[in-house]
Amino acid sequence: MRTRNLFTGMLLGIGSAAGAVLFRRRAARRRERVDLYFVDGTIISVAEGSRGSDRLLQHARTALGATRP
């Protein structure tokens, strides 16, 4: 009986951890961001809500809108 309770507890813990990871990944996909690639190979991701991101994201939306037919 004790082994069964331990097994059930472990399954519940693993399931909760997996659910939390999937939830965070899904929430991260919904946020807008701009990736800035530099000549030296570095990259900076500017996410929605960070300082100065509003203006940069607006420029990105305008550029993407101009490319769509």
pLDDT at 40: 94
pLDDT in tens, 20-65: 888 887 776 667 788 889 999 999 888 888 887 888 888 888 888 8
- The domain spans of the chain are 1-30, 32-69
Provide the strand spans (E) within 1-69.
33-37, 43-47
Instruction: Return the H-helix or E-strand segment holding 25.
Output: helix 2-30
Per the structure block, which two tokens stand in for 39?
């000549």
Amino acid identity, residue 13?
A: G
User: Higher model confidence: residue 67 or residue 44?
Assistant: 44
Pairing of strands 33-37, 43-47: antiparallel
